[in-house]
Structure formats: structure tokens, C-alpha cells
Amino acid sequence: MAIQQKITPYLWFDGTAEEAAKFYVSIFPNSRIVAVSNYPEAGPGDPGSVMVVVFELEGQTFGAINGGTMFTLSEATSFLIDCTTQAEIDHYWSRLLEGGGTEQPCGWLKDRYGMSWQVNSQRLVEKVHTSGDTAAIARVMAAMMEMGKIDLGALERAYEG
């Protein structure tokens, strides 16, 4: 299977790559598992166990590898989900927290597999940072620092003053 994009993120898991890929595909529309390959008899993993899963989320290709315990996912890498409505934020926030995820400040969360996500509105972020209104930026940032899940209405009100 040839990957068509120039850069493809690969995520490292310890035996849960296929489970995680199926979880993510269940959350995002226009998503699918593309391919699953298994460790060969002579490989470093258990023969026949899942080695790599290639999947798409909203047309973006990802790879997931069961590489063992050597590395773990961390907040050093996160994926921003650009939401346009509060309903979208609510959907992604609740679904990604299912099964043991943890809330983080400012619209961030960590899912049960350890992947960090930013569930936010890029439109609002751009509006705030391109406005040139330093008082509005300060109000929005102060409001956001008090939030776990993003409340678009509250941020819009903070922006307006």
C-alpha cells in the first residue's frame, strides 16, 4: 500500500496500535483503517501479532506501530482538532476521553492511549491573535486558562469584553 502524502505521522504503541486506530476511526468522520501488517516469524515482535496499522482520519494518513515499551506518547506531540461549533468541541472532547482519558487545561486532553489532543477552534484563535487588540487577547487567554474543555461562547464574550 503506497502512502500518498509527503509526511506521515507514526505513533508508537505497546501492543495497542490496532485498538487505538479503531478507536480513532470510530470518532472521526471520513476515516478508515487502510492496512494492517503483522510481525513475521523472524521479526522482533510476537510472530503474527500486529506490527503496523495504517489509518486515515479525515483524509490524513497516520501509521501506528506496536514497538514495545521503549518509547511512550507524551504531550510533546499533540494533534489539534479544528472545531467550528460548540457541538463539535463537545463531541470530540467526550469521545476522546472515553475509557480513561484525562482532561488537561486550555482545551487539551490525553486519550486512554496517551495521545494528546487540542480540541479548539482555530478560527477563534486566529481571530484573537490577528486582531491586534492586546486587551482582547489578554481577556481571551485569561478565560481559556480557566477552562478544561473549550467554551466558545465564553471565549467570544471575553473577546468582546
Structural domains of the chain ordered from first start: 1-71 (3.30.720.100), 73-161 (3.10.180.10)
Q: What is the pLDDT of residues 25-60, one digit of tens each?
A: 999 999 999 999 999 887 677 888 999 999 999 999
Cell 506501530 identifies what position?
65
> pLDDT tens across 59-86, in order?
999 999 999 999 999 999 999 999 999 9
Place of cell 487577547: 137
pLDDT of residue 1: 55
> Which residues have CB under 8 Å from 2's CB, separation 6+?
none
The one-character DSSP state at 114 is S
Q: All 3 cell numbers of residue 111?
A: 486519550
DSSP of 10-44, one letter per residue?
Answer: EEEESS-HHHHHHHHHHHSSS-EEEEEEE--TTSS
Using alpha carbons, list the distances in angstroms from residue 154 to 128, 151, 160: 13, 5, 10
